[in-house]
Structure 1
Amino acid sequence: MTLAMTGPGAAPAETPLALQLQVDGVGGDARLRGELRQGEFSAKVLNSRLRVEDQVLDLDPLRLELLDGTVVARGTADFNDPANASFRFATNARGIQWGSPTALAADADFGLAGTLQAWALIGNATLTRDGERATLTLDGRGNNERMDLKALDVAMPTGTLAATGRIAWAPSLAWDIDSRLAGFDPGYFAAGWNGSINGHITSTGSARDDGGLEATLDLADLGGRLHGKPLDGNGHFTMSGASPTGDVARYQGELALSIGGSRINAKGSYGNRVDVDARFAPLNLQDLLPDASGTLRGTARVLGPAAGPDVRADLVGSNLKFADYSASTLTIKGELPWSRGDGQLAIRGDGLAIGAPVDRLVIDARGAVEQLRLSATAGREGLASLALDASLNHRGNRWQGNLSRLAVDMERGADWNLRAPAGFAWTPAPNGSSATLEQACLASTAGGSLCINADWPGRGLSVVGEGLPVALVEPYLPEREHRQPWLLRGELAIDAHIRPVGSGWDGEARITSAGGGIRNSERSRTELLSYDNLALKATFRPQGIEAELGTGFNGDGRIDASLRTGWDAWSPLSGQLSLNTRELTWMELFSPDIVEPTGRLNAQITVAGTRDTPQLGGQARLADFSTELPALAITLREGNVQLDAMADGSARIHGSVRSASSAGNDGNGVLNINGTLGWKGDETPLVLRLSGTDVLVSDTPDLRAVASPDLQLNYQIGQPTRLTGTILVPEAMVNLEGLDHAVSPSADVVVLDPVNPDDGPGAPLAMDLRITVGDDVRMKGFGLTGKVDGNMHLLARPGRELAATGAINVAGEYKAYGQDLTITRGLLSWSNDPVSNPVVNLRAERVIGEVTAGVDVSGRATAPQASVWSNPASSQPEALAYLTLGRPLSTLSGDQRGDLNAANAALTAGGGMLASQLATRIGLEDAGVTQSRALGSSVFGFGKQLSPRMYVGYGVSLLGTGQVLTLKYLLDHGFDIEIESSTLEDRGSINWRKEK
């Protein structure tokens, strides 16, 4: 049995109470189990037994599981003498827990025994918090009319609470409770309210003859500490409740409270009239509420009839925060009478988080509430700002007004403005309010208009849109590289009407457009995506909704869809989607590398199940797919990929595509695609496996590569994309000179207009790849002809640098400045190191007669150490001369050109110390490494300051690509002219430098 409980005529609760109960048994002997749930609270009835026989009730036992603990009740009640039934029950609770962030726990034992005319309630409990304990004892004696509370005592490390009194329920409800606090810590009962409170609290109450309730509560001599703050105060409250005949309840009270740095004084009454006066001098929210912060200072007064009081306020708040709401600043100043007068009330808020798309708010209200003139602005950074002017009048039970201005300024996209003033009205009623809005038309600065009028709930709401440009959505499309805009064409028309009927709706909505499309530039010959004769129709009925969509798609293609369902979450769902097209240029939207894709896309998708548990069926197929990837000089062709919906709510993806050279070179491996797509829950909705043998991945003059991948990609919403697997590269040819086109800016260059300064980091990626470089991977360029092979294990974690483990071997010959060097040892190794900083172990050498000279490079790539050697052994300058020139250093004297060549070769060998030695010998002022933009690489250069304003330098590329002559001339005010003339190109620049 499952029950959903609400009161008669009550609206459904946000968190309804649900009860599931299963009863098995014979006669009066029943076994129970079930569950009660409301929101996050739940209580389970474990296997329990209840027996009724001969007017005797037995619990044997009743077991409950709640608040992470258990409660067991056992006992017997004998009703053979209805006037004086006897009973004996015992209840034991263990491991009950509540509260956050500090967990509170309790164990308790209570017993109830006696007869209706004389019974006793005795018990005790132990409460635990942070390893400390409080004990509670209860002693109550009573009969069928009342209970005398002999003692309710609580003892904890900080003090005690002692309460006595009387509670009566016959002939009418009444109570008189007296409690004294001496170091009482409420944090054992309410998490976060730790303290040590002193005081005297009394409460009395009684039911009147007319059915109303009188009650009082007195707080006297409050002291001690709460939340670690000093506490002092007094309070008095009275209530005269309404009677069933319908008179008005009356409340009255006053409070003087000091806690921490807060001072609160308030007094007031509420009934037919309201009179409340409060002063905060100040109120620090964290003094009162554990999870709140900020300060509120000022006064507030509410005075007048309860249905329409005057308001006066002078409040200033700063850094306010409570639960999910906050305000950096909030001020409310002024007074606003209810019925007549010329009041002014100003509300200002900034840094707001109030559950609406608003972070700033300005409201100015003038006049009286019943004759109000209102100006307001609101907005949210990065979204929009709104400004309005309106008037409001109250006549009888009807509020009516006029909206004279409404302007919406969008941060992105077109703005909207109210064309003409529009009237509105609202009539509250106990059985449902009503509202009307005259025709209100908003015009867009991009063209078109949107008009709304309403008679709610009578005739309902009508929306009419005319000439609305499709370009209105352009600012919300994915941003393109270099911030280039999308070009959209087409207009939309909207005609919709809806009204409430019972728990459903009745009406119709239509969206139509003759045609439209999207291009990525003015020069594009074709549109990436286009449609024609678009028609979307939705029909609303009390029983549910029916929707149909039809449009031509990309020329000869077509999209048709339909959907039918009810208004409830459990309503049956029925839908179909049919798509077919031979025009696939829209795929270029997903990647700028795809050019002129062709093929056929057909899809037949069905939707079934219910709204809260949809089930997808059908399939989609991409056939005969082909496209060019010019950046890689390859063609993808013979592509066939199919998606099949499965009964478990997932879809299977399978297919393949062939990669071939655009130039007709060898290589045409097949890449296989397999995987699953899930749309139930967030756990791994997309899993793709990409595998193949000898797949051509690039065939440009700079890079030709063949790979055999076996990769798995896992995509999950809110989680880093995971890429795992292996890649074998059996064959590749790398042209180093062709790949080295980019030149990094020098350290003193500041880029004033980066391509996209607002771009944030890309989607996080977790990668675990093992790469094997085969024995036919070659490279050439900059004088190097060689091969590489080896293995690498790449690991990437979000927020961490890409790391590697493994080794790559390098072998071959290096030719520079007319010298032939053989690489006899070449090794790059990583041990969970950043991939950009391997350990280098390199040796290159040459043989000159009986002398072998070489260079060794070792250490980290970011800080390599180079040394020159020879066999037989000699000094480093001598070995350097043999290595680069094939003769000893002594033969260079008297020849400046030879000195420069020797210095250049010295730096190529990696010795900064050697370069400085040679510069000194030659007699120039400086020698070192600089960056040449004309050569596009580092150079070793010599220079001399010919005058305080003129510098002349000469350098040779470290990679052997040429020489460069540099002239710098210093102008005034930090400007200088720099001219470079090289064997590759000539460059000139005007530079400005400001030192701080």
Structure 2
Amino acid sequence: MIPLQIELERFDVRDFQLQQATPIVINHFGFAARAFEHQVSISSLELNMPELVAELQGQVTLNHDYPLQLELKSQLRLADFNGQTLNLSAQGSLADLQLQARLDKLAQAQLRAQLNLLATDLPFDLQLSQVRAQWPMLGEADYQLQVPNLRANGSLASYQITLQNAALQGADLPDLALTLNGQGNLDQIALSSFEMAALGGSVGGTARLNWKTALDWEARLKLDHLQPALQWPTVEGHLSGELETRGGLTQQGGWQVELPRLAINGVLRDYPLQLRGQVSASDRQGLGDITLVTQGVSIVHGPNSLTAKGQLNKQWRMAVELDVPDLSKSLPDAQGKVIGDIVLRGDLKQPRVKLMLDADQVRWQDWAAIGHLTLQGNLAALPEPQGDLSLQVRDVQYQDQRIDTLDVKAQGSQQRHNVTVDLTSALASTSLAVNGRLRLEPSLRWQGELEQMWLSSSQGRWQLQQATALSFDQASQRVKVAAHCWGQAAAQICLEQEAQLGERGAARIAIKQFDFSQLADLLPQLTKLSGQLDGQVTAKWAPNTAPQLQAELSLSKGQVIQKLEKNLIFGWDHARLSAKLARNQLQANWLVAATDNGDFSGAISIADVRSEQKIMQGELNLSTFNLDFLQPLIGEYSEAKSNLNAELQFSGPMLHPQLHGEISANDIRVIGEITPVDIPSGQVSLKFNGYQASLNADIATSDGLLEVDGDADWQQLDNWRLTTRVHASSMRVELPPMVRVKVVPDLTLAMQPQLAKVTGNIALPWGRIVVEELPPSAIGISKDQVVLNANFEPVTEPNSLPFSLETDINLQIGDDFQLKAFGLQGNLVGRLNVAQKDKGPFILGEVNIRDGQYRSFGQDLQIKEGKILMNGPVDLPYLAITAIRNPNNTQDDVVAGVRVSGPSDNPSLVIFSEPAMPQANALSYLLRGQNIDGEAGGNAMTTTLIGLSLAQSGKLVGEIGQAFGVQDLQLDTAGSGDDSQVTVSGYILPGLQVKYGVGIFNSLGEFTIRYRLMKDLYLEAVSGVNGAVDLLYQFEFN
């Protein structure tokens, strides 16, 4: 009873913090209440913390059974539970308390409970239902839990528990459903039945857990048709069986575990599986005296088995046998055969282990394989670890690397042991011997000596010059290596003082007389390198301290030779490199003095190598460096020469430095087959001024001066620009044997990020283009061709330009531009505009063919009108061509010809005549120059068509003649009217021609032999219906 009447109208605490290891912060605590005699009433209690927000209201009577009524509302703010709510109501009395609780938002659940808190055995009736929860509670769930109903009722002296269909799901777990019934009290809990449904089957049984004196348990389990493949698809099959287990903690502080029955059967990956046996283990006194006893325990899967039998107690008598004749039956990604034995014998204080393992043709997937492995050994762990081990491995394949043999032998004790390793492979081979001793207290420390070692590769063999002391200290995490040298011929690589390797350490390495000839096997077969390298590198490092590095490298006189038809040689008299890193500042300089040439030198310094924005400054110099040594690359019939000079200074951020100075190329001379434009002299100058540069070039060509001017600005890296203008009064371009043109360019190139523009004019005032005939078997590339790689997958060629290209170029073809190609001869005149934006080039304009002739229909046709019209892509011109037969060779003053019009990929062809007449008559005038006239006309048309056919097949006949050794074999027609013949002729010797003809309208044959006596003078013999011998002289006149 409270004798005073208390009324707390309001009590508030704000921004309160309790300082301790984990500070407690209260943003707001508010309280309002009244109390008098037996009544206590809380009208408001509010708590606001970073972790939660809560409100409480209620009243309590402090007599009889303590009647009460409380209402609590709360919400969590913790990172992993932010937003979770808990609402709780309590009413009744302590002798009959009714509780209701509800979880909402992240996790959901309902709890109803009835308790008697005044009874000594605490009677209760609890029911938890509609539970839905996940983890993590925010975001995507890895695990999900559902509990439809959990009921517990009774008292602490005796209670019952029932769980129905509780479900657990997880990303790496099979779906589980649990049902159980049990009883319990303050000393134990016993499950009279439980069943867990999983993997398409179930695990059920009974279990008991007791903790009255010392913890002990007992369980009997039954597995029924578990199917692992439902969770792990590669493990197909089913498992069933029984097992029993019991055990507990002893009163002496030890433990014991027994598995008196293990009998599991099933099928995995189509092979039977059996687990059989019994095993017990204990340490009853808790002193580490572990006893393990088994009458036999085994696992058998198909032909593979693992068996253990024996005891490990005061006397060790245990044997383990591994027999795996086919590893792939148990591990689908593996192949091979493994057989082994482990025998444990001896007194507990001096046990001995003997092991033997053999493996043949072991393979893991497609990236690792072992031809054969043998491991043998005898080990004794107590009182001091000692023993011997022997490992032999043959034919190891790891991805693209292969090891032929590996032999490792280790023997001795902890205090004195030695190890030898011998390895051979195509990449490298080695042999080493190490001895040492190991100390375990107060911390692990190993000390030893590398007695001997050599390392051989395609570069050569390096031999350790003397035995080298080694040590490792676990406490300091440091390795020490004594000073020593490696030798190869006259070369040495030396550690000049003891190196300490770890978080803190130092090393000094020297390279002496390393001859580049020792790299011969690493270089391409046609490349030869000579010279010597000497150097010294010193390094120091420590935690929280900037590392230090100093390097001095030098090259003596040497050269590199690339074997060509005429050797390419680049030599140097001497070269050096110096670098120093201290207090995070890097400084370096270098010099290469080329033989009979200029020097390349420079220096660089970086103020702070750790800074994200590394600031540097330095210089690059190249003094009169001529390119004559590259002449062997150019060829015998070309010449390319120039002298390079450079003086550059750079400063500022490493990724955006400022440049000052000039790079120039003088005395430029490029002539011969290498270039379409002969350049007898020229100079190029590129000047830098901070973030700007200017280009000036004067190139003298055989026809005039080519000038190139430009400038660039990269002040803003994301908005750089470049502009270049190319112009010349005249420039002769030759691409033998087909193209000879004079070009007058006036072009401007403007570039910026993602865009390049080319604008200007190109004039072609003079040109001679002669295109050789294509081989008869030539076939154009199909537009829908698909190129495949080695795996028969389509090859997608990336866009060769990393920017968009826009063009606006006017092309003018002059009055003296002659073309001879594919039977066409004539002069070209016209104007074209080449524009490109987003897509491919778009050409607009017209090209006319003047004074042209075209070989077609077996005739030399005159081009009366010839136009090529462009209004689209370059491969789709429009043709408008009119060609006629020579009027001087056409009777009756008739004009006969052909009109070709339409797009180039599908033109239309029309035969016409003036005056107009039937197509047959027009074709006769086009092919024969005369009209059709009765039978003679029919014979003439037959002769013409045969001649036309022979004209189309002439090239194929020529190829057949060459195959049989007959030069210039031709199939043609001769004569006219009824005397028309089909003839075949060719040269069987130089100057000796043989011809045979057969009449088209009769079967009479004629054989002719013609021999060239001298230029334009021939002796000819003819044999047929009439024979003759003639002396012929050939001449021409205009």
Q: TM-score, normalised by structure 1?
A: 0.60
- 1:964-995 superposed Cα distances (whole Å, 9 cap, x missing partner): 99999xxxxxxxxxxxxxxxxxxxxxxxxxxx
Determine if contact 1:405/1:421 at 8 Å carries over to the other structure.
no
Q: Which amino acid aligns with 1:362?
A: T
Equivalence for 2:578: 535
Q: Does 1:467 align with 2:504?
A: no
C-alpha distance in 2 between matches for 1:401 and 1:46: 61
Q: Which protein is bigger by CA-based radius of gyration?
A: 2
C-alpha distance in 1 between matches for 2:926 and 2:393: 86
Equivalence for 1:951: 966
CA RMSD between the two structures? 6.8
Q: TM-score, normalised by structure 2?
A: 0.58
C-alpha distance in 1 between matches for 2:529 and 2:719: 33
For residue 953 of structure 1, report the CA deviation from its aligned partner.
3.3
State which of 503, 508, 512 in structure 1 corresponds to 2:552: 512
Q: Does 1:125 align with 2:167?
A: yes
Q: Does 1:579 align with 2:618?
A: yes
Equivalence for 1:548: 586
- Gaps (5+ residues) in structure 2? 1-21, 30-46, 53-77, 91-96, 381-385, 441-445, 593-598, 635-639, 735-740, 779-789, 888-893, 933-942, 972-985, 991-1038
For residue 493 of structure 1, report the CA deviation from its aligned partner.
1.6
State which of 754, 766, 776 in structure 1 corresponds to 2:811: 776
Q: Which amino acid aligns with 1:374?
A: T
Within a 5 Å distance, the mapping from 1:835-914 to structure 2 comes to: 845-847=882-884, 848-849=886-887, 851=895, 853=897, 871=913
- Gaps (5+ residues) in structure 1? 1-19, 34-41, 64-69, 540-544, 566-570, 607-615, 645-653, 678-686, 714-722, 748-756, 796-802, 891-902, 920-925, 930-939, 957-963, 969-996
Please state whether the residue corresponding to 2:950 is helix, strand or coil: helix
Tell which has more relative contact order, 1 or 2 (C-alpha 8 A, sep 6+).
1
Determine if contact 1:528/1:587 at 8 Å carries over to the other structure.
no
For residue 409 of structure 1, report the CA deviation from its aligned partner.
1.0
Within a 5 Å distance, the mapping from 1:173-184 to structure 2 comes to: 173-184=215-226
Determine if contact 2:626/2:644 at 8 Å carries over to the other structure.
yes
For residue 417 of structure 1, report the CA deviation from its aligned partner.
0.8
Equivalence for 2:847: 811
Q: Which amino acid aligns with 2:423?
A: T
C-alpha distance in 2 between matches for 1:44 and 1:374: 55
Please state whether the residue corresponding to 2:49 is helix, strand or coil: strand
State which of 319, 343, 350 in structure 1 corresponds to 2:363: 319
C-alpha distance in 2 between matches for 1:294 and 1:230: 19
C-alpha distance in 2 between matches for 1:580 and 1:728: 37
Shift of the 513–157 alpha-carbon distance from structure 1 to 2, 3 Å rule, reads: closer
Equivalence for 1:731: 762
State which of 374, 384, 397 in structure 2 corresponds to 1:351: 397
Determine if contact 1:579/1:603 at 8 Å carries over to the other structure.
yes
Determine if contact 1:869/1:880 at 8 Å carries over to the other structure.
no
Q: Does 1:621 align with 2:659?
A: yes
Q: Does 1:917 align with 2:950?
A: yes
- 1:878-900 superposed Cα distances (whole Å, 9 cap, x missing partner): 979969xx96899xxxxxxxxxx
Shift of the 822–172 alpha-carbon distance from structure 1 to 2, 3 Å rule, reads: farther
Q: Which amino acid aligns with 1:422?
A: A
Within a 5 Å distance, the mapping from 1:603-614 to structure 2 comes to: 603-605=650-652
- 1:248-290 superposed Cα distances (whole Å, 9 cap, x missing partner): 696979653344675555668889979663424335357447x
Equivalence for 1:377: 423
State which of 159, 166, 176 in structure 1 corresponds to 2:201: 159
Shift of the 149–514 alpha-carbon distance from structure 1 to 2, 3 Å rule, reads: same
Equivalence for 2:147: 109
State which of 49, 52, 56 in structure 2 corresponds to 1:30: 49
Equivalence for 1:701: 733
Shift of the 510–129 alpha-carbon distance from structure 1 to 2, 3 Å rule, reads: closer
State which of 445, 448, 455 in structure 2 corresponds to 1:407: 455
Q: Which amino acid aligns with 2:648?
A: L
Please state whether the residue corresponding to 1:46 is helix, strand or coil: coil
Within a 5 Å distance, the mapping from 1:362-373 to structure 2 comes to: 362-365=405-408, 368=411
Determine if contact 1:335/1:344 at 8 Å carries over to the other structure.
yes
Q: Which amino acid aligns with 2:374?
A: K
Q: Which amino acid aligns with 1:951?
A: V
Shift of the 576–124 alpha-carbon distance from structure 1 to 2, 3 Å rule, reads: same
Determine if contact 1:486/1:518 at 8 Å carries over to the other structure.
no
C-alpha distance in 1 between matches for 2:526 and 2:796: 19
- 1:758-801 superposed Cα distances (whole Å, 9 cap, x missing partner): xxx99954658566574416586646754685768799xxxxxx
Equivalence for 1:331: 372
Equivalence for 2:866: 824
C-alpha distance in 2 between matches for 1:530 and 1:217: 83
For residue 824 of structure 1, report the CA deviation from its aligned partner.
3.5
C-alpha distance in 1 between matches for 2:149 and 2:949: 97
C-alpha distance in 1 between matches for 2:604 and 2:831: 55
Q: Percent identity?
A: 12
For residue 578 of structure 1, report the CA deviation from its aligned partner.
1.6
C-alpha distance in 2 between matches for 1:762 and 1:586: 42
Please state whether the residue corresponding to 1:257 is helix, strand or coil: strand
Shift of the 577–870 alpha-carbon distance from structure 1 to 2, 3 Å rule, reads: same
C-alpha distance in 1 between matches for 2:655 and 2:705: 42
Q: Which amino acid aligns with 1:299?
A: G
- 1:742-769 superposed Cα distances (whole Å, 9 cap, x missing partner): 999x99xxxxxxxxx9xxx999546585
Shift of the 762–386 alpha-carbon distance from structure 1 to 2, 3 Å rule, reads: farther
For residue 226 of structure 1, report the CA deviation from its aligned partner.
3.8
Equivalence for 2:35: none
Shift of the 776–390 alpha-carbon distance from structure 1 to 2, 3 Å rule, reads: same
C-alpha distance in 2 between matches for 1:867 and 1:876: 15
Please state whether the residue corresponding to 1:374 is helix, strand or coil: strand
Higher mean C-alpha deviation, range 186-195 or range 278-287: 186-195
Within a 5 Å distance, the mapping from 1:929-968 to structure 2 comes to: 941=958, 944=961, 950-953=965-968
Within a 5 Å distance, the mapping from 1:38-53 to structure 2 comes to: 44-48=80-84
Q: Which amino acid aligns with 2:227?
A: D
Q: Does 1:215 align with 2:257?
A: yes
C-alpha distance in 2 between matches for 1:170 and 1:529: 91
Shift of the 881–622 alpha-carbon distance from structure 1 to 2, 3 Å rule, reads: farther
Shift of the 623–508 alpha-carbon distance from structure 1 to 2, 3 Å rule, reads: closer
For residue 347 of structure 1, report the CA deviation from its aligned partner.
0.8
C-alpha distance in 1 between matches for 2:293 and 2:196: 31
Q: Which amino acid aligns with 1:320?
A: W
Q: Which amino acid aligns with 1:511?
A: A
Q: Does 1:417 align with 2:452?
A: no
Determine if contact 1:334/1:344 at 8 Å carries over to the other structure.
yes
Please state whether the residue corresponding to 1:928 is helix, strand or coil: helix
Determine if contact 2:340/2:355 at 8 Å carries over to the other structure.
no
Determine if contact 1:735/1:781 at 8 Å carries over to the other structure.
no
C-alpha distance in 1 between matches for 2:898 and 2:767: 23
Determine if contact 1:549/1:560 at 8 Å carries over to the other structure.
yes
State which of 285, 294, 301 in structure 1 corresponds to 2:335: 294
Determine if contact 2:358/2:373 at 8 Å carries over to the other structure.
yes
Q: Does 1:491 align with 2:491?
A: no
C-alpha distance in 2 between matches for 1:109 and 1:527: 83
Count matched residues.
792
For residue 385 of structure 1, report the CA deviation from its aligned partner.
1.5
Determine if contact 1:772/1:790 at 8 Å carries over to the other structure.
no
Shift of the 362–766 alpha-carbon distance from structure 1 to 2, 3 Å rule, reads: same
Equivalence for 1:681: none
Q: Which amino acid aligns with 2:457?
A: D
Q: Which amino acid aligns with 1:348?
A: R
